[in-house]
């Protein structure tokens, strides 16, 4: 006879088994959820940068300028997705690990991971399990740097949703983590990064 522990874990494993067929996405009028631009922009990148700043995020398209910001903040130790480390070749003054070391979780002050998409209408960064090399690397450090290809900036959320694919987990980050649960006072960096950066690169 199995123990209570085995009974519980068997039930959990059974619940986590993937469904034989994923539920189809609902058919819905996408035009109802599109926000028109608040100004005139000559590119989706410009609109994304404007909306990101409005959401208290930071936009960079220069690695040296970003590195200067990190050093000015005293943020010199961090994690980087190994596929992105080449972007920081020749940058001095930063100590960057390409393997996330759990013993340094309280020491890492920045994390650099890949973003799947950027949403121009809101300055939102989309992170997926497939493209994020380390979830803790994106969420645990005070500063998160999402590296985004300019070609992956989409105009609105319906276009971002089309990029979901079969990914089991998707995060939409619009600026730094924030909450106003306590007495209506806005506090940033409670449930995740206190500084959210998008580093937009062109390929």
The single residue listed with the structure tokens 């493209």 is 131
Q: Which residues contact 144 (CB under 8 A, 6 or more apart)?
A: 110, 111, 113, 138, 173, 192, 193, 195, 196, 197
**What is the pTM for the complete model shown?**
0.83
Say if CB 159 and CB 175 are below 8 A apart: no
* Cα of 58 vs its chain's centroid, Å: 13
Q: Is there a contact between 183 and 129 (Cβ–Cβ < 8 Å)?
A: no
- Degrees, nearest 5: CA angle 65-111-125: 80
The maximal CA–CA distance of the chain, rounded, in angstroms, is: 69
**Alpha helix stretches (DSSP H) within the chain:** 4-16, 44-54, 63-72, 135-139, 157-161
Q: What is the pLDDT of residue 1?
A: 47
Task: Determine the pLDDT at residue 118.
Answer: 97
Neighbours of 138 (CB within 10 A): 25
Q: What is the pLDDT of residue 148?
A: 97
What was the pLDDT predicted at 154?
96
CATH T-level fold of 41-201:
Rossmann fold (3.40.50)
Q: Which residues share a beta bridge with 188?
A: 178
Element (H, E) at 97: strand 95-97
pLDDT in tens, 11-60: 887 877 766 676 777 777 777 776 777 788 999 999 999 999 999 999 99
Cα–Cα dist 142/7, whole Å:
40
Map tokens 């450090």 to a residue.
141
CB-based contact 150:202 (threshold 8 Å): yes
**Low-confidence residues of the chain, pLDDT below 70?**
1-2, 18-20, 22, 34
């Amino acid at each position: 006879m199995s123990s209570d522990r085995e009974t519980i874990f068997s039930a959990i494993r059974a619940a986590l088994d993937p469904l034989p067929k994923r539920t189809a996405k609902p058919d819905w009028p996408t035009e109802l959820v599109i926000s028109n631009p608040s100004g005139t922009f000559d590119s989706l990148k410009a609109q994304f940068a404007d909306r990101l700043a409005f959401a208290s995020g930071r936009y960079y398209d220069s690695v040296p300028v970003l590195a200067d910001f990190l050093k000015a903040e005293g943020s010199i130790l961090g994690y980087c997705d190994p596929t992105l480390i080449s972007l920081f070749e020749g940058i001095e003054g930063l100590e960057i690990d390409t393997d996330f070391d759990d013993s340094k979780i309280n020491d890492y002050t920045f994390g650099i991971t890949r973003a799947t998409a950027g949403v121009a209408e809101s300055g939102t960064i989309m992170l997926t399990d497939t493209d994020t090399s380390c979830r803790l690397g994106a969420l645990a450090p005070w500063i998160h740097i999402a590296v985004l290809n300019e070609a992956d900036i989409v105009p609105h959320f319906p276009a971002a949703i089309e990029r979901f694919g079969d990914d089991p987990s998707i995060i939409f980050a619009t600026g730094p983590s924030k909450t106003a649960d306590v007495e209506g006072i806005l506090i940033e960096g409670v449930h995740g990064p206190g500084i959210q950066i998008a580093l937009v690169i062109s390929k």
